[in-house]
Amino acid sequence: MNHKEKKIENRLFLLLIVLLIAISIFLFIGINKNNAQYLISTRGIKLLSMILSGTCIAVSTLIFQTVTDSRILTPSVMGLDSMYVFLQTLLIFVFKRKLPVLLESVPKFMITTFFMILVSILLQKFFTNKSKGKLLYMILIGMIVGTFLDSLSNGIQMIMDPDEFLILQSSLFASYSKVNTTLLAIAYGILGVSLLWLKNDIVKLDVMSLGYNQSINLGLDYKKLLRKKLTLVGILVSISTALVGPVMFLGLLTVNISKEILKTYKHRYLILSSTLLSIVFLISGQLLVEKIFNNSFPVGTIINFVGGIYLLSILLKERKVR
């Protein structure tokens, strides 16, 4: 092991220590013998949800930035967040009275996940090789799809019953307060299979990060790997969003900080650091929401606010470099 890898592993170990401290604070703050069992059980479910969400968002964003060769893009450019809002709106508006069974946790989760994955797969046809033109074309199509779905969602929400609208609003923001344990188990099963699918391609992602021409010259089946990774991105984003709601800027924040901290292109390190940071940010945000802001708004609001500021700082930094 060379000096650089030793340095990277030391930083990963420090991130792990920070995560363990954050988990300990989150689980045990305010605990006494009278409320220990109840608080630890409810907080444990929240913690498992944040671990799953943080892992999905970090891994999907890292892969997406690798295949697009851009550090300012997230999978949300494919319109998946807009698809989530549209599906929630449509399900409540159409089926709340006629087929309420579809609004139960498991059917709703499966429907949302299925259609979000389907959209991500369909968008791949606009990004079949690695060129700047194809990249911009895919982003444009994603933005058009997202804008179209947002317009449909807003139109439906305008004519919804006020009670239905209130129900809808509670599902449109990332929240870890009420997570169905059955759905959590299903989501972890999908996540486990997805990570196993990713395992054998981690080194290939290192090659992919060199660019299209270099990857082809090194014998990489770029188009096949691209399709696989975009499908994986769609799966990971879909299960996280369908379970707890959208957290748009979390991946952008943690992946870029990981790259700044580790200074490496190796995805086996970047995946670990991005995941650890994502979970730390989610736990910290949840603590702020619960202990300081008294649950007045969801944790996604804090994450998106900080992530938006960080995105602006990246854009300004790159502008100065040019």
- DSSP class of residue 70 equals -
What pLDDT score was predicted for residue 135?
A: 63
- DSSP class of residue 125 equals G
- Give yes or no for a contact between 146 and 79, defined as CB atoms under 8 angstroms apart: yes
High-pLDDT (> 70) share of the chain, %: 90
At 224-274, the pLDDT tens digits run 888 888 888 888 988 888 777 777 788 888 999 998 899 888 899 999 999
Q: Is 255 exposed, middle or buried (0-12, 13-18, 19+ CB in 10 A)?
A: buried
- Answer whether residue 292 shows pLDDT above 80: yes
At 165-189, the pLDDT tens digits run 777 776 676 667 777 788 889 889 9
Q: What is the dihedral of CA 13, 17, 23, 27, to 10 degrees?
A: 140
Residue 35 falls inside a structural domain: no
Residue 47 falls inside a structural domain: no
What pLDDT score was predicted for residue 318?
A: 64
Q: Residue 41: which pLDDT band, with cuts at 50, 70 and 90?
A: confident
Q: Residue 290: which pLDDT band, with cuts at 50, 70 and 90?
A: confident
Residue 50 falls inside a structural domain: no
User: Can you tell me the mean pLDDT for 190-207?
Assistant: 89
Q: 3-class SS at 220?
A: coil
- Answer whether residue 157 shows pLDDT above 60: yes
d(CA 300, CA 250): 9
Q: What are phi and psi for residue 293, nearest 5 degrees?
A: -95, 5
Measured distance between the N- and C-terminal CA atoms of the chain, rounded to whole angstroms:
36
Q: Residue 281: which pLDDT band, with cuts at 50, 70 and 90?
A: very high
Angle between helices 250-262 and 267-287 (to 10 degrees): 130
- Answer whether residue 301 shows pLDDT above 80: no
What pLDDT score was predicted for residue 320?
A: 59
CA distances in angstroms from 219 to 69, 211, 226, listed in the order given:
19, 13, 14
Render 87-145 in DSSP notation, one character per residue. Answer: HHHHHHHHHHHH-GGGGSHHHHHHHHHHHHHHHHHHGGGG--S--HHHHHHHHHHHHHH
Q: Residue 307: which pLDDT band, with cuts at 50, 70 and 90?
A: confident
Residue 128 falls inside a structural domain: yes
Residue 240 falls inside a structural domain: yes
- Pick the more confident residue, 180 or 28: 28
Please count the structural domains in the chain: 1
- Give yes or no for a contact between 297 and 288, defined as CB atoms under 8 angstroms apart: no
Average pLDDT of the residues of the chain: 82
At 51-90, the pLDDT tens digits run 999 999 999 999 988 888 888 888 877 777 788 888 888 8
At 84-98, the pLDDT tens digits run 888 888 888 877 766
User: Can you tell me the mean pLDDT for 18-41?
Assistant: 88
- Answer whether residue 35 shows pLDDT above 60: yes
- DSSP class of residue 288 equals I
d(CA 319, CA 313): 10
Q: What is the dihedral of CA 312, 313, 316, 318, to 10 degrees?
A: -110
Neighbours of 26 (CB within 10 A): 20
At 80-138, the pLDDT tens digits run 778 888 888 888 887 776 666 666 777 878 888 888 888 777 776 665 544 544 666 76
pTM equals 0.87
Where residue 274 sits, what CATH number does that domain have?
1.10.3470.10
Residue 21 falls inside a structural domain: no
Nearest to 255 by CA among 71, 51, 80, 53: 71
164 lies in which domain range? 74-321
Residue 309 falls inside a structural domain: yes
Residue 7 falls inside a structural domain: no
What pLDDT score was predicted for residue 125?
A: 66
d(CA 268, CA 199): 9
